[in-house]
């Protein structure tokens, strides 16, 4: 459901830009929701892999081995910071959508 909601937000944003309306608060909502979904997916992967996630990054003939997921999991943790921290994004939503 979260991914479908994320997709709907992207489609609304694209449609608004095509109409020349700019992106308003939708871009901030997209960033907030998108990073939250990515981190939940990363957490689920970490839970599924278990302690193997803490190994060093490695590639094999079969692709990404579980230890490389640890690096990706840590990489996804920074999503709430870069591109504008969640606090900054929430302030933008308050200003643009709520007029605060």
Task: Dump pLDDT digits (tens) for 21-76.
Answer: 877 788 888 888 888 888 888 888 878 877 666 655 555 666 655 566 777 777 77
Ordered structural domains, the chain, with CATH:
2-98 (1.20.140.10)
pTM of the model: 0.66
Quick check: 1 and 37 in contact, CB under 8 A? no
- The answer to whether the Cα torsion of 52, 58, 61, 62 is positive or negative is positive
């Amino acid at each position: 459901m979260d991914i479908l909601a994320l997709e709907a937000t992207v489609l609304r944003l694209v449609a608004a830009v095509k109409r020349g309306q700019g992106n308003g608060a939708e871009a901030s909502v997209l960033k907030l929701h998108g990073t939250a979904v990515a981190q939940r997916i990363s957490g689920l992967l970490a839970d599924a892999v278990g302690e193997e996630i803490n190994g060093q990054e490695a590639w094999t003939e079969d692709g990404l081995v579980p230890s490389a997921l640890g690096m990706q999991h840590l990489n996804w943790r920074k999503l709430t910071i870069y591109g504008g921290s969640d606090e900054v994004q929430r302030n933008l939503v308050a200003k643009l959508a709520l007029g605060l």
